[in-house]
Amino acid sequence: MNYERKIGKVREKFEEHNIEAMLITNPTNIFYLSGFSGSAGYVLLTAEKAYLITDFRYEEQAQKEIPLHIFELVILSTKIIDKIKDLVENENIKKLGIETKYMTVDFYNELNKNLSHCNLVSVKSIIEELRIVKNEEEIIRIKKAAKIADLAFKHIVKFIKPGVKEFEVAAEIEYFMRRKGASKASFDIIAASGERAALPHGTASEKELKKGDLLVMDFGAVYKGYCSDITRTVVVGKASEEQCNIYDIVLEAQKRALQAVAVNMPCSELDSVARNIIESYGYGDKFGHSLGHGVGIEVHEPPAVSKNSTVNLSPGMVITIEPGIYIEGWGGVRIEDMVLVTEQGPQVLTTSTKELLEI
């Protein structure tokens, strides 16, 4: 992973934001810049130096994960505020960028009190904007995470049967993905059946599957810090005519949107491609969420593929396309794939069958 290039791009933003250094407190951004995956860490970037600050519990882990030719590893022997104060004073920093979105009010007040000589500048989305476009190594990891998710779907369709609980479906998916190299699931796995399939984020419950149920499964794997995200809807037993019809509408919307993905296309326009199809069949009010989102270190990250988005697609973006129809008291259907935006056209990363499976 080219951490020097990532750090260099952050430093290029210093002048624009009128700062001399930046304190990074968001664990996801810390991982992006350093590879450190511990839950207690801070990064201080100056124009010339990079510090990774953590405590004794993570010393060995940090030594293995971070590029020590770039970062000076600082192990706390005092309070974090005191150490930050020492570093800021030693570096003679007068304008410090901070991620106010990722710190408590108490922590901000402590910084303000202890760094009275320093102007604290709230900087928003510097690193998040860099994370939108993935580099080659990041894409390799995302593709591997997507492959694990595809394998998990192929496995779970053999596991599903009447009487199995949603909890068991979710547990089996996660267990399988871990066996295939995932460090964890990307998020709490959604396994929602029957009427519960109308819940877009219906995490697994103790409900038992029964014949005739729609089963929406939304899950993903984390591989070397990068996520995948896939949704497939199946029927337990024989599908009804209505289930087939609604499934076909969602599939048509999803396929059309995937085909439309192109460099420079506004995300809002892409959302409309799928939304207009669903609306044309009279189900517009049953598709209440955005079409998709970016995927990377976090399973939900910019850009938002929504009607209100102001972002245009660029090469290297990885997004989801996930239209759905949700009908209270009946159930729901969602189909989701990850797609890599390239100059040559869309590259779909999740390749599990989208035929309506009757299990």
The pLDDT tens digits of the residues spanning 184-236 come to 999 999 999 999 999 999 999 999 999 999 999 999 999 999 999 999 999 99
Tell me the pLDDT tens digit for each residue of 4-18. 999 999 999 999 999
Give 56's contacts (C-beta < 8 A, 6+ positions apart).
75, 76
Please tell me the pTM assigned to this model. Answer: 0.95
What is the mean pLDDT of the segment spanning 156-176? 99
Count the helices and strands in the chain (H runs, E runs): 10, 19
Amino acid at 332: G
- Residue 1 confidence (pLDDT) above 90: no
- Residue 316 confidence (pLDDT) above 90: yes
Sign of CA dihedral 247, 250, 255, 258: negative
State residue 59's pLDDT score. 97
User: How far is Cα 130 from Cα 12, in angstroms, rounded to an integer?
Assistant: 11
Q: Which residue has the higher pLDDT, 78 or 54?
A: 54
- Number of neighbours of residue 288 by Cβ within 10 angstroms: 10
State residue 125's pLDDT score. 87
Which residues does residue 218 pair with via DSSP β-bridges, in sequence order? Answer: 190, 231
Confidence band, pLDDT 50/70/90 cuts, at residue 124: confident
- Residue 21 confidence (pLDDT) above 90: yes
Q: What average pLDDT is seen over the chain?
A: 98
- Number of neighbours of residue 93 by Cβ within 10 angstroms: 22
Which residues does residue 122 pair with via DSSP β-bridges, in sequence order? Answer: 98
Give 151's contacts (C-beta < 8 A, 6+ positions apart).
176, 177, 180
10 Å CB burial of residue 170 (0-12, 13-18, 19+) is buried
Tokens 């997507």 label which residue?
146
How would you classify the pairing of strands 324-327 and 331-334?
A: antiparallel
> How is residue 119 written in tokens?
């102007």
Question: Above pLDDT 90, what percent of the chain?
Answer: 99
Tell me the pLDDT tens digit for each residue of 90-112. 999 999 999 999 999 999 999 99
Domains of the chain (ranges, CATH numbers): 3-131 (3.40.350.10), 136-348 (3.90.230.10)
Helices (H), the chain: 3-11, 27-34, 59-65, 80-90, 105-114, 126-131, 136-159, 166-179, 241-260, 267-280
10 Å CB burial of residue 186 (0-12, 13-18, 19+) is buried
Tell me the pLDDT tens digit for each residue of 236-281. 999 999 999 999 999 999 999 999 999 999 999 999 999 999 999 9
